[in-house]
Amino acid sequence: MQVHFIGRNGDRVTASPKPGDRLLDAAQSVGLPLEGTCNGQMACSTCHLILHPDWFARLPRASIEEEDLLDLAPDACSTSRLGCQIVLQDHLDGLLARLP
């Protein structure tokens, strides 16, 4: 499967993760500067990504804990998610997200 990212410089980058991989790992696999400092423990928000609205709508809702962390993330918006909480499945093939 493929997922696409728009970097802070506007360049589009494509990753080829496997179903079950996290969106955070897909971004890091192509060298995007997404720290993921707590490695998915929901203690940082350095994995913040902004989803394209079409793809945001296909994701399961964020947990309360994720929402609370996103409230603290710089440049968070209505389609923000934590990349460590998005587990990629086949129906997300083609997903598009950008770095904040």
Q: Which of 13, 42, 76, 96 touches ligand FES (CB under 6 A)? A: 42
Question: Per rule CB under 6 A, is residue 51 in the interface with ligand FES?
Answer: no
Q: Is 92 helix (H, G, I), strand (E, B) or coil?
A: helix
Distance CA 17, CA 52 (A): 18
Distance CA 89, CA 32 (A): 21
Question: Per rule CB under 6 A, is residue 23 in the interface with ligand FES?
Answer: no
Select 37 or 89, whichever has its Cβ closest to ligand FES: 37
Question: Per rule CB under 6 A, is residue 40 in the interface with ligand FES?
Answer: yes
Select 50 or 69, whichever has its Cβ closest to ligand FES: 69
Give residue for tokens 């928000």: 45
Provide the Cα torsion 69, 73, 77, 79; round to 10°: -50
Residue numbers of the site for ligand FES (CB under 6 A)? Answer: 24, 36-40, 42-47, 69, 82, 84
